[in-house]
Amino acid sequence: MPGMVVFGRRWGIASDDLVFPGAFELFIRVIWWIGTLVLYTIHKGRFDCPGGTVLHSYLVVLLVLLAAIILSLCAIVYVSAQGTITNPGPRRSIPLLVCIRALLYLPELVWACLGAIWVSDDSRGCERAEVGAVIGAVVASWIILFFTGIGVVIVFDPLGSQRPSGALYEAGTRDLESSDSAQLLYTARSLATRVWESRLRLLCCCLPQDDSHRAAFSSIAQLVSGFFSDTDLVPSDIAAGLSLLHQEQDKVEQCRDPDDVVPHSPSSPIREDLQTELERAAHCMQFAVAAYGWPMYVYSNPLTGVCKLSGDCCRSRGAEYDIVGGDHLGCHFTSILHSTGLQYRDFIHISFHNQIYEIPFFVALDHKKEAVLVAVRGTLSLRDVLTDLSADCENLPIEGVTGTCYAHKGIAQAASYIYKKLINDGILNQAFTIAPEYRLVITGHSLGAGTASVLAILLRSAFPTLQCYAFSPPGGLLSKALADYSREFVVSVVLGKDLVPRLSIPNMEDLKRRILKMVSNCNKPKYQILLHGCWYEMFGGQPDDFPTELENRREEELSQPLLGEQSLLLHRSPSYQSLDSEDSPSHVTHLPLYLPGRILHITEEGGPRRSCFSQVRYRAEWSSETSFCSILISPRMITDHMPDVVLRALQSLTQERPFSLCPSSLSNSHLNVI
């Protein structure tokens, strides 16, 4: 449900979010009250120390105050557990109960101060148990008050007290297209953009506040504020919706015929070529992982990585190391040498210069595959994150490509930066002067994969035989025309339910619509959804078959969003337009972007793996972009994106040897499917 309205403003917490924090504080208060009561009962009539009279009065009032707090918490927990996410009617008394509970903080604060004064002035001669109990009560009060203040800061909504936002809901019910409503909508969105931009500036306070960063902050703020502008959900609603959606997707997957195979693209090669591509991909992935430098090397070799690098880091360098830029300690280059097995003379250029839209890369001679290899680093810094989040579309005209050509703005600019370095600085010319018979190969992982794909498109006309291997590339990358054009020379490798290749603005809009549908239809309290969801994510089991309100509500009621305090989304929003039908297309507000090239999808055989020690077998098959048009919720949606996991999965498909993952043993056999 929307944020709770208390003290005349909206907060980033709903009325059904007080079950768990209230129950936790209730548990502490009950133990506290019982301990105080036991102390008072044991020493009743024997408060004969100099400050005994004050101590007696202090304990009596403390017991009464704790009893009042416990009663208020019981009421809050009970009422907050009533109703459903979209039916807050049984919880309409929560704001009053919260106000009462807030008022009880005042006497508690006063009593904590009086207890501290008594301990410092009048506690001489009293028993240690009595003095310790008062000190414990004072400390506990201050700790609870401190964390309550932290909680208030966390749930504070900067937009909660703005009248235009509240008036916008009322205007939406009348006529959202009227001039007054349009002005209110513009004002609300402008304010939301400024709030998000301030948050980004605070988060990135360590970065220089130059023009490029300010432009990126503004662009990202507009994107994020626009995405959340038509919904009125709190974070716990999203968590509950994700839990429900995950279980729903698992139920659908369990009902699917295991013999069903996704039809391959007409342009997919034959089986023998699939194995060849897997071997090439496994080889290139080593360079994509190496591009991350020493952090990934130490992460992949936690026991020996530091020892292997420590001998070469920070020592004086010869003239041959002039090809390395931005690696002040030399640890990055040393880790690359260890990861790739190349010699320093095999490298043409290495750059660890990192700014927004400017990401590290290196150029080396791969004698094993007779290739000039360009490896681009993935996301590893806050500047890289800003490049990722600059997800607007940018024109990318390519000669000979028919149709509209555009790409992810941040990635396109990063590719343009590397393109200029390679061409204008003569790096590629130098490489092919040394090895003129070699061909050009470009690779990268995540952000590096997207940049490598766009870079390959830019270099294609000059190097017709180039190949690009993009590992876990971002989903919202290329327009349809460029994606089709890149099929001839780009291979994208995606592992399992990796989130990033499915991450695009249309897919996020679709995810938002599905979350709204799940939370709108489920008739279970939120705390039950979250409890079962946590158990399911941690220990597995069967997906819960939550009943829905479709059984008790008419379809026309479901197609109309609730208004005022009960609204989940604004009238006539894109999410609202498609909420009443699972199959109805979402309103397209952003240009569609696709994965580059041919898509090689690697999946685990069998059901979802919950244990780190279970057997793992992989299968690889050619897929199409339609398989990545929606986000799949899974505990492995982030793990499957990690470069070391992708590398090990590729190695398990190409090497006849046992494979360990966290650790789990793989069968010596593997299955490739077309």
Would you name the residues annotated as active-site residues?
A: 446, 498
3-state SS, one letter per residue, for 489-540: CEEEEEECCCCHHHCCHHHHHHHHHHHHHHHHHECCCHHHHHHHHHHHHHHC
Token digits for 285? 């992935």
The alpha carbon dihedral of 347, 352, 358, 359 has a sign of positive
**Which residue(s) pair with 390 in the sheet?**
none
Cβ atoms 590, 408 nearer than 8 A = no
Distance CA 392, CA 373 (A): 29
DSSP 395-448: E---TT--S--EEEHHHHHHHHHHHHHHHHTTHHHHHHHH-TT-EEEEEEETHH
Token digits for 265? 């693209």
Cβ atoms 485, 398 nearer than 8 A = yes
Q: Strands, E, within 192-258: which ranges? A: none
Residues 6+ apart with CB under 8 A from 404: 479, 480, 481
Q: Buried b / exposed e across 306-316, counting CB within 10 Å, b at 16+?
A: eeebeebbeee
Q: Buried b / exposed e across 406-421, counting CB within 10 Å, b at 16+?
A: bbbbbbbbbbbbbbeb
Distances (CA, A) of 571 to 13, 223, 313, 567: 22, 20, 60, 9
Distance CA 574, CA 576 (A): 5
SS3 call for 134? helix
Cβ-defined contacts of 436-440 (< 8 Å, 24+): 437/370, 438/365, 438/366, 438/370, 438/371, 438/372, 439/370, 439/371, 439/372, 439/463, 439/465, 439/466, 439/467, 440/371, 440/372, 440/374, 440/465, 440/466, 440/467
Token digits for 154? 């966390």
Q: Is 64 left (phi over 0), alpha (psi -120 to 50) or beta?
A: alpha
Please tell me the number of Cα atoms within 13 Å of 555 on its side-chain side. Answer: 2
Which residue type does 483 have? Answer: A
